[in-house]
A and B are shown apart, each in its own frame.
Chain A
Amino acid sequence: MEVVLEVESVSYCYDQSRILHEISFMVEAGELVCVLGPNGCGKTTLLKNILGLLTPSSGFVRIDGKDVQKLSPKKLAQVMGYIPQAHNPPFPFKVFDVVLMGRTAHLSSLALPNKKDEEIAYESLAKLNITHLKDKIYTKLSGGERQLVLIARALAQQPKILIMDEPTISLDFGKQNVVLEHVRLLSQKGISILMVTHDPGHALFCADKVVTLKKGRLLKIGLPQDVISEDSMRDMYDTEVRIAKLKLPDERTICVCVPVPRASEICMSA
């Protein structure tokens, strides 16, 4: 398998405190990797190191074998698409314009997007079945729709890998599943995806591989059902869980993770 993203013993220090300790893992072509961990475990810092927004204190992040730190923002954006958490920009841009902004990295430096860029933006909307949102105002959409538009924008970049930062975090139960199912289908079409999440259920639902973090250290890498166990969840989140297998209507069997906190834990945390 071709390696798309390689994180090699990345450490990151801020004000003398070490936030990441020698993290190493790989994302292969077409793979969906979830980074899972509790609040403050260094997920976001790791993500920013991967995106080239922060510089690792030691170690390397390579995309297609090239050091992320040595690529220009433009070159990097041509191979790596970033999907942030849905938010509001200060101006009421049209959805189509927002998606078209995904083409910026492919424009010659002072040009405007042309017909071909518009076609690619439209195809990106079509891939997520949201062409009906084309002329809507982005800031007026629901959180779930906005998240899908941001995914479409990243697709318009035509990257090799998508990096997602908790794409479901502020969405309601139903919308979370819509977004997650889109992510799963995209990965099945062959795009590599690295998704940061705090919910083991999401990792079990769609990941090919799970990386778990705690206090800036990598705990485990492996298949979701191997990595997410009752023991590892206790270790990471200090909470009791039960894990059970469930058969889905489409013949897939996935694991589900249900928290069952003990009375003593509730007293402790309260």
Chain B
Amino acid sequence: MHSSLKNLILILLPVTAFLFSFAIGRYAVSIPQLMSTLYGHYFGGVMETNLETVVFNIRLPRIFAAMLVGAALSTAGAAYQGMFKNPLVSPDILGASAGAGFGACLAIYLSQSGLIIQISAFLFGLAAVFLAYLINVKLDYDPILGLVLGGILISTLFSSGTGVLKYFADANDKLPAITFWLMGSLSSVDKRDLLMVLIPMSIGFTSLFLVRWRLNVLAFGEEEARSLGINTKRLRLIVIISSTLVTAASVSICGMVGWIGLVIPHLARAIVGPNYSILMPVTFIIGATYLLLIDDVARCLGSVEVPLGILTSLIGVPFFIFIFKKNVRGWK
């Protein structure tokens, strides 16, 4: 495909998906209605209040959240795949998701408010990765293998913790709440949630974008990267902190959403190749669009919402096999 055409599609794709997602849903909004509401909201004028509420308080936060989370998990996955020199890595490898999941379950178990659940999830996500990193430092083993090992240990620890909480949770109200939270959903996202994740997300995205050329070099391994002039220890730390910030923030607002961080970087690599200077922005765009569309399906499929985590896996698995078949080049 011609590269300028490719660029055009990559820019139009999220914009189209964005407008389309406003229009669909249980409360149908046509595109002209949407345009006049948007215009009216910002430039004054007489409005149909129902429409404005739907657009600005329900749909807009949810659409932004879906795009942010999709972009976050995808870019974190892409960064980790480069850092671990392994195309099969996803953003939860160092325990960020397991930790955040445990944090949320703990808060639900202790009957805390939605705000506390979100904060607890975020902080436990950070703590889990910190512990995994600490194990790696204490082991003083091969940095990459040590990190993976630390991540596996910590993930297992926190998953068992979640299991314990589920076992003791009240089967009538808390257990369903925990289970539903873990399956992932964007149905309760509001403006406050968005504002809360904005800071960690912007820090994470900015630094991942700034180091993206260096990720190429890191993919050649520790010794080569160092001999090419990279302070590998510092770069790894930057990548881990940034990816953890965006991943933990994502999990804290929408629960566990799997497969995106693994599948989207591959899809992006199939389209623009493995060079991170281009791969990173494209992964961001495709990730944002993908989760937005999946969330559209989640809220329109039936009268009861399908959990997002289930949909991303259900759609992600065949999608992954398809990319794998079409694009073995992206692997070796």
Q: Which residues of A contact B (CB under 8 A)?
A: 48, 51-53, 72-74, 76-78, 80-82, 84, 88-94, 97, 101-102, 104-107, 110-113, 137, 139, 153, 157
Contact = CB atoms under 8 A, between A and B. Distances in A.
A104 B330 CA distance: 24
B219 A89 contact: yes
Contact of A94 (B211, B212, B213, B273): B273
A104 B329 contact: no
Nearest to A82: B227
B332 A104 contact: no
Contacts of A97: 216, 275
Interface stretch (B90-98, B100-108, B150-158, B228-236): B228-236
B223 interface: yes
A107 to B, nearest CB: 7
21 contacts: A53-B226, A53-B227, A73-B227, A73-B232, A84-B224, A89-B219, A89-B220, A89-B221, A90-B332, A91-B82, A91-B219, A92-B273, A92-B274, A92-B332, A93-B216, A93-B273, A94-B275, A97-B216, A101-B216, A106-B229, A112-B277
B332 A88 contact: yes
Contacts of A106: 229
Given A91-B87, A93-B274, A104 B228 contact: yes
Q: Which of B210, B217, B220, B330: most chain A Cβ within 10 A?
A: B220
B214 interface: yes
A18 B232 CA distance: 28
B227 A77 contact: yes
Point out which of B81, B214, B226, B229 has the most chain A C-beta atoms below 10 A from its C-beta: B229
Contact of B228 (A72, A105, A112): A105
A157 B87 CA distance: 28
B112 interface: no
Contacts of B213: 104, 107, 111-113
Contacts of A93: 216, 219, 273-275
Contacts of A74: 229-231
Given A93-B274, A105-B228, A157-B228, 11 more contacts: A51-B227, A73-B226, A73-B227, A73-B231, A82-B223, A89-B220, A91-B82, A91-B269, A101-B220, A101-B228, A139-B332
B174 interface: no
A18 to B, nearest CB: 21
Interface residues of B, number: 32
A131 B24 CA distance: 52
Nearest to B226: A73
A81 B227 CA distance: 7
Contact of B274 (A72, A91, A102, A105): A91
B309 to A, nearest CB: 27
B86 interface: yes
The 8 A-B residue pairs with the shortest CB-CB distance in the complex, in nearest-first order:
A105-B229, A77-B229, A82-B227, A91-B274, A110-B210, A74-B229, A90-B85, A104-B228
B235 to A, nearest CB: 10
Of the candidates B86, B217, B227, B329, the one having the most CB atoms from chain A within 10 angstroms of its own CB is: B227
Contacts of A101: 216-217, 220, 228
A212 B84 CA distance: 37
A246 B86 CA distance: 49
Contacts of A153: 228
Contacts of A52: 226
A163 to B, nearest CB: 8
Most chain-A Cβ atoms within 10 A of its Cβ — which of B221, B275, B329?
Answer: B275
A112 B209 CA distance: 11
Contacts of A72: 231
A84 B229 CA distance: 15
Contact of A137 (B210, B269, B277, B329): B329
A51 B220 CA distance: 16
